[in-house]
Amino acid sequence: MNYIGRILPVDGYIVHQKEYLPVDYARSLTHLYQPLIGIQAVSLYQTLLHDMELQEDFSPQTHHSLMNYLNLPLDEIYQSRLKLEGIGLLKTFKKNGESNDLYTYELQSPFAPDKFFKDAMLSQLLFHHIGDQKFNMLKNRYLKAAFTDRGENITAVFSEVFQTFTPSAKALEGIPKEESATEELNMDFSWMEQMLKQRMIPAGKVLTSENRRLIYQMMVLYDLETHEIDKSVLWALNDENLLDTEEFKVACHDLFKAKNNNKTIRLTETVQTVKKEPTEVPTTKEEMLIQELEIISPKQLLEDLSSGQHASEQDMKAIREVMTTQGLPAPVMNVLIHYVLLQSNMKLSKAYLEKIASHWSRANIKTAKEAMMFAKKEQERFQKDMKRKSSYSKKQNSKEVVPDWFKERKHKQTKQPEVSNSLNISKEQEKIAARLRQYSNGN
């Protein structure tokens, strides 16, 4: 992913810290966060943290100074910033200026080691990154076991010690409101409440605030659909209709493995598709088609050609295997799909895809335009070869001495089929031409 130009060296920044850091925050950053986001992102966090001491009256510094501190190019600094934002260690605010922009980086406190392991999503990610042996070692070291033999709890509560009162509105001014967990989740659980009620399961016992957070995290982590989450929740309910969180996490993980052919879970960067701005405005329908094939995904192309229907798993698997084995870029693959569908009466044959893809791969075709021109030339060459073979066959037949009565008999027998065959070819050509016109017009 190209991050060049997202921020400029002359753009300024100031750093705020939302809350005090835990005493052992350095251990969390080094042993718990660093395996997930990398050393550059952790170095950026620590650099911003100590940058606050250098700020005078919140005067901004330029990103050029960050480049010097970290000895990194600006695009890698931007990439590290995104990782900090995604993991929850940084919030970024931008104010546009006339000559340059100003960014405010608000550092968020990392979890203390014991709280890190109580966060279901982060602990699961760390487990998959470093393996069970290292994970259990860190967990046993940082997650202190609760001391159970403590006797009766006789701790006095607030109301027993202090006299309560209702604070005035003036006293509450300036106190920031904390974001609640439900606002942070931004997820509607009404579908799950309805599902539980239909099965006579008390939704209140299952969908506690902690369980809602866990369900949301597992849904995001494993990219599960709502029906898959429903299945995992029902699987993890015990006899008392309480959610066994460990069973739930295992169920979600098993579902993901089943969907993704036992693919390893790792924290990777999201691949963002950026549409290329056309350097030239297309003037013909063919240029418009090429431009569309350059930016659309193969999945979207299949759905467009099938009137919005979802691309089948079989077709997507065939396309994925051809793309990966032959190393074709997505625009070239789009032209190949379009070409094969037109040549095969809208059927996507994997064998036909592989045959043409291997040829195009050897030809080192990289763009949709190159693929379109190459396909045209191959088609013209194929038609010329067919004409040459046909003319050669006619010459060979003309040299043979055939009795007149046999010619007349053969002419009578083949006259009607030839007309029928000609009509069939004409109809097929009209279908293909109509399909090309339809797609070129954007339908």
The residue written with tokens 């300036």 in the block is 174
Q: At 92, is the secondary structure helix, strand, or coil?
A: strand
What are the structural domain ranges in the chain? 12-110, 285-372, 406-443
**DSSP reduced 3-state for 198:** helix
Q: Which of 197, 282, 195, 211 is nearest to 243 (CA)?
A: 211
Region of 424 (left: φ > 0; alpha: ψ -120 to 50; beta: rest) is alpha
Of residues 48 and 360, more confidence is placed in 48
CA-only gyration radius of the chain, Å: 33
Distance from C-alpha of 193 to C-alpha of 28, rounded to nearest angstrom: 36
Q: How confident is the model at residue 275 (pLDDT cuts 50, 70, 90)?
A: very low
Give the pair of three-digit tokens for residue 109: 């406190």
Q: Please determine, for residue 436, whether its predicted confidence score (pLDDT) is greater than 80.
A: no
SS3 153: coil
CB of 106 closer than 8 Å to CB of 51: no
- Token reading at 91: 């919030």
pLDDT at 201 over 90: no
Which phi-psi region, left, alpha or beta, contains residue 308 (left: φ > 0; alpha: ψ -120 to 50)?
Answer: left
Listed range (67-71, 105-109, 154-158, 340-344) with the worst mean pLDDT: 154-158
Spatial distance between the Cα atoms of 96 and 104, rounded to a whole number of angstroms: 11
Helix (H, G, I), strand (E, B) or coil at 121: helix
The CATH T-level fold of domain 12-110 is: Arc Repressor Mutant, subunit A (1.10.10)
**pLDDT tens figures, 290-336:** 888 887 777 777 777 766 566 676 777 677 667 766 767 778 888 88
